[in-house]
Structure 1
């Protein structure tokens, strides 16, 4: 073993450790790898930064802009209305329509992007039809992962594969080369949840009688058990509350009371900042359980009036209400607290409840670190809630219809740009060129403003991909791939081709499940290209199998899509293991059979 090979394995081990331990953000780890490799002389500086200009990165940027344009145009509303109309009398069809639709859309955008796009829509469908969200969200998430195997741009591993193959001197794949296996996986996944969903999904109980339809606010209050008692309180001059702030009064910690609004004369301030001082004459709108409210108004000698119909007022207003916010997987808020981000001061909303996995927190959770997939129930004005939901820091999953809201522009034009980009990529034009042309058309036709196009790109994912691509180049340049290939060839010497495919498919599945599908692909593809010839199999076929199986991540919420739907669906780790085990086995068998018999 040479010094260069030893240094490469040291960098690889450090990267894997940082990925697993999550001591640093994944994009920071990738950039660290990108910078370390040329400093150690394992690759040339030009090769280290080549990932930023790779076809995979350019295509991914274009896909993100195209997906944002379709979402912004309102074209998804057509799909939602179609699904609801087709399943209004047959609720069991919902799973089939949702999974196949999401799977099809996921073929042309990243898995987590497709899941994030459809999460509010699926929750809206659940509320309209009365189908439990737990019956729909996990199937939707799995369909997004499965649908990523319909095209070479549907998942990050497949998107990267062609670049890695070209670098290894192997011919690449066309856009729809993997469509046969993708179709089988999506259809099988839809049928699996259609026939066995009641057995493998949690919290599904058949109701004898259908309940009358509830409004969105009613469903939120019932689902999360949000208090509905509202007191309007005036602060008299002699009140001990005058001169204090909401934090000084221990409103959350001691009384579990929420301050929804503060009126001072004609001015109304929704979700006042924690350091806003109270003064005599102000009118407070308080929310909480009645015993807690009574104790608060008595202790602070407030004049109060209980709202007789607070719930109906929430329904009739078009200005304020409750909403659910999800922390996206790549949100900058992950690891921060409500206090760190100053949610009231920054966004003007009142946090009511935090749902993390199977834990529900009420009262004061200001110092609780936020995790990806957490759900926060907030109360505030609709416009402030909509502004808060930028898709980067927070994602809104409660449908909101603003009065006088400007409708999204020209969905037909947006779909034309999207379909045109896919057609170009399928016609033989380089995939990145075809998709970027469609993204540019979105901007030129003013479907997506230029500034929004930049914001639509998840730069964390871009740098993760660009930073790890040089790792594959270093593996070849240092000779590490040849060394590993000789070891693997010795282990699998004399094994039939089918055993070779199963072994590498299983290895890619495990690495994808516990590290990441991107890292698994970059590590394994150079290895299988080197080991294929000694084992008597096609390097192209073995590399494709690795890229497919690295996305076989259904049994744990480590996958970004699974993490995204975990809290909104009320799932636990055991739910993924129970529902995902059969999908994982079927995925592995299908991928191996496809690659083995087609012999790419």
Structure 2
């Protein structure tokens, strides 16, 4: 096949796209927009093809699945999932990475990998915040394993879904593959990926500083309330302590400390912002905030044990779910003239008063009798949901934006139901992916899981425009004949190879195409070619076809795959980060794939 001017132009466009990704001259979504504009002007695609990415099945699916993931996050479902992982992994980065990546890989085997990654991303980010592990160290392995997870079953990725329809060559239709025909190879690929990050993670993952689990005070509040102290967990021994209510213990009066939460060892119930009349029993665990000196004195006087870390209340008191806010009493507040004790902040609002700042004096220990007046500052600890409710009361004006969002836990069954129906539509009813996911997203909005404005805000539009621009680039490769020319050149150079060489060439060629074109397009183009070559070399055509379908998931060194693009901004990644981590993963994927194909299919 001769090299035409159009082929030269499309290869030049590809060259500049790669340069833009590597050197980051403009943001990646702008690269997508530039591609959409330049391709029709150069005559490589039609105007309708240039903007077809905006309505493609992949892009619409991403928008919908991000909304579904946001809905699950707003109901607390993903937070519960994150806590289950933390329960087994603790704060060990290697265990966290392996558990998150492995879980997503398995999920990805039964749904589209972009869906699995998007649904799990809120939980991964919560884990990062709570443990201090950089988000990129969790999300990048998760993304790679989500892509590889698509090799586990026949419904794990679009190329495998299409594969049985393409098993026709020279008029002969070959036997279809079963649901789990490729599972042994997929398992080997996932294990190799997990080992790759476990062994080489410290060198290949972005060299970002570990995230810091911040103290209870923001930098602004720390200037005024620096002597509030830190949060500690304390265990009450089973002997030497009789059951008493908090007011009897007078912890704040005598030790300038505040009890933020308690855990009953018998009922296993947590009590956040316990009231003065609530009791503490032997064996209970409490969370207390205060200066280290007073915490140690409190422990010594009551013979309580200071635990090494906040573990029991790690979720309740994490910066994702709770924090400290300063509220200024407004002029028309109903609180004016009342004492702090009369306001009953714990009982009515679920927040714990830590200090009162009036005039130029700050009071920490004796708060109950402090009279609140206009302009009095109250330092409060509580869940973000409680502060959102307080903000709506208009009695307090907060000096900082209230973090977090209202968790609609009552909507969790509806959100899970929407997800279940969506999966049923995809896996059983064979409804098109984008339509089924849009149904799930719309059902969540109509069911009050999240508002339409929250849904719009949840979508990462950078990812949308990046992918929408790369899809017409793949069409340009097919329109100009560049894709077939590259395939023909490689196969002509190889001649009549052995099974090992043939499968290696097929895998390399497919891996190259999937970096710049859709994996579906690469599969449709290369499966017939690979099967014909296999027949001429005396190799099983089904093995060659399966190699193409699996190698279509070998796309790690550029953020062109939907999953890689999805995590790029949340993980704070650059294009060079994919190249650093993806080069080794690409090589290992190829080796394991070819070995697996020779073992299980030859």
TM-score, normalised to structure 1, is 0.54
Cα contact 1:566–1:572 (8 A) shared by 2: no
Q: Is the 8 A contact 1:106 1:144 kept in 2?
A: no
Q: Distance in 2 between matches of 1:201 and 1:40?
A: 38
> Residue deviations 1:383-432, cap 9 Å, x none?
6263xxxxxxxxxxxxx5x8xx5534411221221122122211251442
CA–CA distance in structure 2, aligned partners of residues 384 and 561 of structure 1: 27
- Residue of structure 1 equivalent to 2:556: 551
- Taking the TM superposition and a 5 Å limit, the aligned residue runs for 1:212-251 are 217-218=214-215, 230=224
Structure 1 residues 169 and 35 mapped into 2: Cα distance closer, same or farther (>3 Å)?
Answer: farther
2:452 matched to 1:450?
A: yes
Residue equivalent to 1:351 = none
Q: Is the 8 A contact 1:548 1:591 kept in 2?
A: no
Displacement of 1:103 in angstroms is: 3.8
Aligned to 2:416: 415
Deviation at 1:19, TM superposition (A): 3.7
User: Which segment is superposed worse, 98-107 or 518-527?
Assistant: 518-527
**Counterpart-to-counterpart distance in 2, 1:58 and 1:574:** 27
- Deviation (angstroms), 1:73: 1.9
Deviation at 1:151, TM superposition (A): 3.6
Note the alpha carbon deviations across 1:465-507, whole angstroms, 9 max, x for none: 3333333334333333333232112122222243233345446
Q: Following the alignment from structure 2 to structure 1, what is the Cα–Cα distance between the partners of residues 139 and 556?
A: 16
For residue 122 of structure 1, the aligned residue among 115, 118, 127 is 127
- What displacement does 1:139 show? 4.9
Q: Which residue does the alignment assign to 2:60?
A: 58
User: What's the counterpart of residue 5 of structure 2?
Assistant: 6
Q: Provide closer, same or farther for how the CA distance between residues 190 and 415 of structure 1 changes in structure 2, counting only shifts above 3 A.
A: farther
Q: CA deviation at 1:552?
A: 6.2
Kindly report the root-mean-square deviation, in angstroms, between the aligned alpha carbons of the 2 structures. Answer: 5.7
- 5 Å-filtered alignment, 1:111-510, equals 113=118, 116-126=121-131, 133=133, 138-139=137-138, 141-151=140-150, 158=157, 181-190=185-194, 217-218=214-215, 230=224, 317-318=380-381, 384=401, 386=403, 405=406, 407-432=408-433, 433-506=435-508
Q: Distance in 2 between the 1:174 and 1:437 partners? A: 29
- Kept in 2: contact 1:506–1:549 (CA 8 A): no
Please give the alpha-carbon distance, in whole angstroms, between the structure 1 residues aligned to 2:490 and 2:90. 55
Task: Kindly provide the CA deviation profile for residues 292-323 of structure 1, in whole angstroms up to 9, marking residues without a partner as x.
Answer: xxxxxxxxxxxx989899xxxx99633899xx
Using the alignment, how far apart are the partners of 2:497 and 2:551 within structure 1?
Answer: 18
Contact preservation (8 Å) 1:541, 1:599:
no
- 1:446 aligns to what SS in structure 2? coil
Unaligned runs of 5+ in 1: 128-132, 204-214, 233-259, 268-303, 322-379, 387-399
Contact 1:320 1:382 in 2 (8 A): no
Q: Distance in 1 between the 2:91 and 2:548 partners?
A: 45
SS in 2 for 1:410: helix
Gaps of 5+ in 2: 227-324, 333-358, 365-376, 385-396, 535-540
Moved more, 73-82 or 579-588: 579-588
Residues of 2 paired with 1:572 and 1:471: CA distance? 18
Partner SS state of residue 215, structure 2: helix
Q: Is the 8 A contact 1:51 1:466 kept in 2?
A: yes
Confirm or deny: 8 A CA contact 2:444 2:450 kept in the other structure.
yes
Q: Assess, with a 3 A threshold, how the Cα gap between structure 1 residues 15 and 384 changes in structure 2: closer, same or farther.
A: farther
- Give the superposition deviation at 1:76: 1.0
Distance change (3 Å), C-alpha of 1:522 and 1:458: farther
Q: What is the alpha-carbon distance in structure 1 between the residues aligned to residue 567 and residue 467 of structure 2?
A: 20
Question: Do the aligned partners of 2:64 and 2:437 also contact (CA within 8 Å) in 1?
Answer: yes
Q: Aligned ranges for residues 532-571 of structure 1 at < 5 Å?
A: 532-533=530-531, 535-536=533-534, 540-551=545-556
Preserved contact between residue 151 and residue 175 of structure 1 (Cα < 8 Å): no
In structure 2, relative to structure 1, the CA distance for the partners of 1:64 and 1:93 (3 Å cut) is closer
Gap change, CA 1:315 and 1:527, over 3 Å in 2: farther
Other structure's SS at 2:456 match: helix
Aligned residues: 431
Select between 103-112 and 448-457 the one with higher mean Cα deviation.
103-112
Cα distance between partner residues in 2 of 1:72 and 1:509:
38
- Structure 2 residue matching 1:317: 3-state secondary structure: strand
Q: Please state how far the C-alpha of 1:163 moved relative to its aligned partner.
A: 8.5
Q: Is the 8 A contact 2:107 2:149 kept in 1?
A: no
On the 8 A contact 2:102/2:190 being kept in 1, the answer is: yes
CA distance in 1, matches of 2:557, 2:529: 22
Question: Contact 1:472–1:522 (CA<8 Å) still a contact in 2?
Answer: no
Cα deviation for residue 66 of structure 1 reads 1.9
Mapped to 2, the partners of 1:11 and 1:168 lie a distance apart of: 30
Distance change (3 Å), C-alpha of 1:161 and 1:114: same
Q: For 1:216 and 1:12, how far apart are their aligned partners in 2?
A: 47
Larger radius of gyration: 2
Distance 2:489 2:205 in 1: 42
Distance 1:24 1:228, change over 3 A: closer
8 A Cα contact 2:551 2:590, kept in partner: no
1:70·1:415 contact (CA, 8 Å) conserved in 2? yes
1:234-264 CA distances to partner (integer Å, 9 max, x unpaired)? Answer: xxxxxxxxxxxxxxxxxxxxxxxxxx99999
